[in-house]
Amino acid sequence: MRLPLDELRQLPTLPLRLPRPTHPRLQAVCDAIVAAPDDKTTAQGWADRLGVDVKTLHRLFLRETGMTFGLRPGLTA
């Protein structure tokens, strides 16, 4: 078991690449999240800032990125 673990440690770490939305309001949200990934703003908070219902934010984000609006692991754009 040590050999496979040693080999895994030698593999390069690749950056996480996330799809970017084309919708201007979602781009602004994504830019803000990338700029401050420790920001604790909830989906409801972002929806309020955009003046949309939180369900609309979730649907739009899914349609634009193919991903759900949720956890934000180490992000890069």
Angle at 72 between CA 18 and CA 53, to 5 degrees: 95
pLDDT for 53 beyond 80: yes
pLDDT value at residue 63 = 94
Distance in angstroms (rounded) separating the CA atoms of residues 76 and 18: 7
**pTM of the prediction?**
0.68
Mean pLDDT of the chain: 82
Mean pLDDT of 22-26: 92
Mean pLDDT of 16-43: 88
pLDDT for 7 beyond 60: yes
